[in-house]
Amino acid sequence: MKILPIKDLRPGMVVTEPIYTNSGQKILDADSILTSESIYRLSFYSIHSVNVKEVDNEGSSEQYTAMIPNPSRASNPSYSQKVKAQPEFMTYQIEYVKLINSIRELFEKIIRHPDSPIDTKHLLEDFSSLVSICRTTVDLLDKLHNMRLDDDSVYAHCLNVALLSRVIGKWLRFTPEERNVLTLCGLFHDIGKTSIPDEILNKPDKYTEEEFTLIKQHPLFGYKILKKLPIDERIKKAALHHHERYDGSGYPQGLQAADIDDYAGIIAIADVYDATTSARSYRSPLCPFQAIAMFEKDGLQKYSPQYILTFLDRIASTYQNNRVLLNNGQSATVVMINSSHLTKPMIQMDDGSVIDMQKKPELEIVKII
């Protein structure tokens, strides 16, 4: 038996005793085999070290690793397995959880002392460290999609929206300073949800009219929390306007395009994309092509035309050359994105035939594989 810090844990190791959170909730049984997900959960609950079984080099370690799915050995590893098998994915998970904890602490501090200066420089440095683990924008999006585990907290959502907004800022050729402001807009956009009781926020059933009326006030609550802070006005406006829509159909004020802050228009897109591609109690996470279809169905006129078109075009292009699963159960490779119909690219089937999905309205991409 030996004690290892979380950063040294690896999938396949075996814990010797049950592990509990600070509040006494059991998260692992004795003799559990660690997986990427369970190591992530340990760091999420701020467990610093764990007792694991010592294994000799020739003996039982092989036995343990053989019992868990090993993406590198599987004959057909899924896209998600390939991403999670990357050596730096574990580092990303740990940094991601650390940042979520920093966001939580910062929100609590702001709520306690609403007019004290906050250290956004330090927060942005931690954020940059997380981004720097990702080699490319595609890599960042892949890691973001694969961090959809059991943390659907407000803090994780704020972090995801900040990551996506920063990517959009890059695609829009924003300056580094503008991208930092945009990142902070994402990090703080849902701070108002901390004013809503958890039992309403996490309710698995449909909201009552009264509950929905309260939820729709969270942009206003957020603005009130941030109002006195010495931070860029665009960050406060993003909290207030991120549910407003360019056609006037949003809330809480039903503003029209000209009255909605520009950066809030970007946060709105990142917010909807993150919600769509995250798992919900009533559905599995949607794949990027389904998310694009959702935007189109919802109505592109609700968003800034310049931002939404760039975003959807770039997201779709990200998955060129990827293997995908179709709704008829067949798999294919995306060979060319159709810029006039992003959810209907040209695909190459496994028998080598090429299909223009525009001519097959019944065909849909349901998963990146």
**Minimum gap (Å) between residue 161 Cβ and Fe ion:** 9
Instruction: Rank residues 190 and 274 by Cβ distance to Fe ion and give the closer one.
Output: 190
**Minimum gap (Å) between residue 239 Cβ and Fe ion:** 8
Instruction: Rank residues 190 and 261 by Cβ distance to Fe ion and give the closer one.
Output: 190
Check: CB of residue 229 under 8 Å from CB of residue 114.
Answer: yes
Check: CB of residue 5 under 8 Å from CB of residue 38.
Answer: no
CA 250 to chain centre: 23
**Minimum gap (Å) between residue 317 Cβ and Fe ion:** 28
**Minimum gap (Å) between residue 189 Cβ and Fe ion:** 6
Please list, in sequence order, all residues whose beta carbon lies within 8 angstroms of the beta carbon of residue 125, skipping any fewer than 6 positions away: none
Instruction: Rank residues 138 and 215 by Cβ distance to Fe ion and give the closer one.
Output: 215
Distance CA 69, CA 81 (A): 9
**Minimum gap (Å) between residue 303 Cβ and Fe ion:** 15
**Minimum gap (Å) between residue 222 Cβ and Fe ion:** 8
Instruction: Rank residues 171 and 251 by Cβ distance to Fe ion and give the closer one.
Output: 251
Instruction: Rank residues 33 and 200 by Cβ distance to Fe ion and give the closer one.
Output: 200
**Minimum gap (Å) between residue 110 Cβ and Fe ion:** 17
Q: How distant, in Å, are the alpha carbons of 58, 127, 235, 286 from that of 37?
A: 26, 22, 33, 20
Distance CA 124, CA 133 (A): 15
Distance CA 215, CA 236 (A): 18
User: Which residue type occupies 20?
Assistant: Y
Distance CA 267, CA 368 (A): 25
CA 112 to chain centre: 27
Measured at the CA of 150, the angle between CA 331 and CA 327, to 5 degrees, comes to 20
Nearest in space to 166 (alpha carbons), one of 186, 147, 146: 186
Instruction: Rank residues 95 and 190 by Cβ distance to Fe ion and give the closer one.
Output: 190
Question: Strand 2-5 and strand 19-20: pairing?
Answer: unpaired
Binding site for Fe ion (CB under 5 A): 190
Instruction: Rank residues 116 and 249 by Cβ distance to Fe ion and give the closer one.
Output: 249
348 φ, ψ to 5°? -110, 125
Other CB atoms within 10 Å distance of the CB of residue 262: 14
**Minimum gap (Å) between residue 310 Cβ and Fe ion:** 22
CA 310 to chain centre: 20
Question: Strand 49-52 and strand 323-326: pairing?
Answer: unpaired
Instruction: Rank residues 189 and 367 by Cβ distance to Fe ion and give the closer one.
Output: 189
C-beta nearest to Fe ion: residue: 190
Distance CA 350, CA 357 (A): 15
**Minimum gap (Å) between residue 252 Cβ and Fe ion:** 11
Instruction: Rank residues 221 and 311 by Cβ distance to Fe ion and give the closer one.
Output: 221
